[in-house]
Each structure stands twice: as C-alpha cells, then as structure tokens.
Amino acid sequence: MQVKDGLVSIIVPSYNAGVFINETIRSVLAQNYENWELWVIDDGSTDNTEQLVSSFRDARINLVKQENSGVSVARNKGLALARGEFIVFFDADDLMTPDFLQVRVNELNKDMLIGFVGGLVETFPVKMKTRKAVAEDPEKDIHFFNADGATIPSNYLFRLSVIRNNGITFNPVLSSSADRFFLLEIARYAKGRSLETEKGKLLYRISESSMSHHVTPKLILDYYKFYNELNARNLLPLKKRREIKSRYLFSIASSFSLIRYWGTCGKLLFRSFITHPVLFFKLAAKKGLGISK
C-alpha cells in the first residue's frame, strides 16, 4: 500500500461507544492539522455506532465493521488499512485538543531518529494528576512501575514505517496491558520522545467506574498474561532481569491476594522469592505493589 507523506492515520476501535463517538470524532475534525484519515473499526457493536459515524459527511472518515474480536484485533485491522506516514491508535471515548496532531507531527518531522512521540495526559470528567507519556525509557518506566507515566495508546503518534518494517502488531492475547506490550516492542527499534508542552494534550476520559480502577479477576489475569508474554517474546532486558522478574511476580501475587486467589498468590510469592530473595524481602516489607495503567 502506497504511504502518503504527511498523512496521519487515526485508528479508532469502537465497541458500543455510541454515547462517546460523536464527541471523539468532533475533536478530530477540530484539529489544526488537517491532513488525516480516520478509520473507525466497529468491533461488532450492537448500539447505534454505525449510524452515528455514517452521519458525518467528510471523505476522510471511514467505517469498517468486523465481528466482535477485541480491541487488539480491531487496532490491527486499522493498522493494515492505514495509508499515512504517521499513525495514532485512538480510543473511542478520548478527546484530542486542537493542537494534538500538529505538535506530534512537528516533533517527528524535526528529528528523524525519533519513532514515536507522546504528550501530557489530562483526565476528565474526573480530575487526576496530569501524567507524562512513557516514551524516553519505556523499559524503565514500565518494568519498574512508574506511577507518573502513562501508556495510554491514544496519546502517541508513531511512524508507520517503524511498525510495518519490524512486523509489530498489537498482541491479541492481551487486553488492558496490550498498550504497554506494544510500547516495549516499539522501543526495541526506535527512540521515543515525551513532550511537556500544554499544547496538544490528550484528554483521557476516566470515571469512578472505569475498569482500570477496579481490581477484577479479568484485569489481574491479563496482567499475568502480560508477564508471561514478556518472557515468551524475550522483552525483559538482560540487565536486572532477575530483579524485574521477581518484582513482577510479587506484584501479580499481591493482586491475586486482593481477589482471594490464595493458591496462585502463594505460588507466585514463592517464585518471586527464589528468583531474587533480597528484593522479595524488601517488597514484602513495603506490603506489595499495585497495578497501574
């Protein structure tokens, strides 16, 4: 497929997001940078998503329907369709501030050695601390649980060539942790940059009922899969590998204890101990680590 210079492909997976999708698309239409295409991947929605997206009379907006297959499969579908030099995987309930695309495109055009860029993340309607993109050192921020960093996929603009040339896709085995996994794979091949300008912030929708703020068996099992996939794909760095593995195992065990999966919790604590005994006791003294997005 011929890539168009300067074009930004915006991939929006949508599953029953009709209540939000209009506002999200309007935020794209309000961009100061106008050279974009939007692919809404309707992941088997049963609401009025199709009608709402189709109501926009703009040739840049495209709707593709698929059977419900999960957000990673939907993002990969959009990735295959993308024609832009740059690409952003945007969630159907988040919003772009007017300079969102412009500041990211400017940064990638300014430095060809940078493969992806993210900005500041501001939450709404519930206000929380503004966070920075995990970009400068994803391995450190993700593997050592940096609470000030955000891996929200909506926040990043990527060079499509980095993704396609290295065969990177979103891991369909994962759900909420797929964004972190994707960043770690990208970081193997390209440097990232985290912007701290007030312009171009991501407006990330969050509420008291958001899934990522409630510990559920599904969320914890996904976290465990994330760790196993890191091992399987050799994405744990050699330096401090024992420490990182022990830290993950302890954190996952702590999470399983919250839902009273005592057998799994005990096994993981034992694995954490034998992997790095000194770190295990330090973590135990702090009474465990939590999960963060």
Are 172 and 72 in contact by the 8 Å Cβ rule? The answer is yes
How high is the pLDDT of residue 286?
A: 82
Categorize the per-residue pLDDT at 293 as very low, low, confident or very high, splitting at 50, 70 and 90.
Answer: very low
How high is the pLDDT of residue 213?
A: 53
Categorize the per-residue pLDDT at 66 as very low, low, confident or very high, splitting at 50, 70 and 90.
Answer: very high
Strand blocks (E) in 110-232: 114-118, 121-125, 132-133, 149-150, 156-159, 191-194, 202-206
Return the number of other C-beta atoms located less than 10 Å from residue 23's C-beta. Answer: 14
pLDDT in tens, 99-154: 999 999 999 999 999 999 999 999 999 999 999 999 999 999 999 999 899 999 99
Are 107 and 40 in contact by the 8 Å Cβ rule? The answer is no
How high is the pLDDT of residue 289?
A: 45
How high is the pLDDT of residue 209?
A: 52
Q: How far apart, in whole angstroms, are the C-alpha atoms of residue 198 and residue 274?
A: 46
Backbone angles phi, psi at 44, to 5 degrees: 70, 35
Categorize the per-residue pLDDT at 215 as very low, low, confident or very high, splitting at 50, 70 and 90.
Answer: confident
Q: Give domain limits for the chain.
A: 4-210, 217-285
Per DSSP, the three-state class of 193 is strand
How high is the pLDDT of residue 2?
A: 78
Q: What is the percent of the chain with per-residue pLDDT over 70, rounded to a whole number?
A: 95
Mean pLDDT of 156-185: 97
Q: Tokens in use for 290? A: 């939590």
Q: What is the pTM of this model?
A: 0.92
Mean pLDDT of the chain, nearest integer: 94
Q: How far apart, in whole angstroms, are the C-alpha atoms of residue 132 and residue 124?
A: 16
Q: How far apart, in whole angstroms, are the C-alpha atoms of residue 137 and residue 274?
A: 28
Q: Tokens in use for 95? A: 């919003």
Question: Which top CATH class is 4-210?
Answer: alpha beta
Mean pLDDT of 69-81: 97
Instruction: Give the closest residue to 144 by CA, choosing from 283, 42, 14.
Output: 283
Q: How far apart, in whole angstroms, are the C-alpha atoms of residue 153 and residue 12?
A: 11
Torsion region of 252: left, alpha or beta (phi above 0 gives left; psi -120 to 50 gives alpha): alpha
Is residue 211 scored above 60 in pLDDT? no
How high is the pLDDT of residue 169?
A: 98
Side-chain half-sphere exposure of 224, counting CA atoms within 13 A? 16
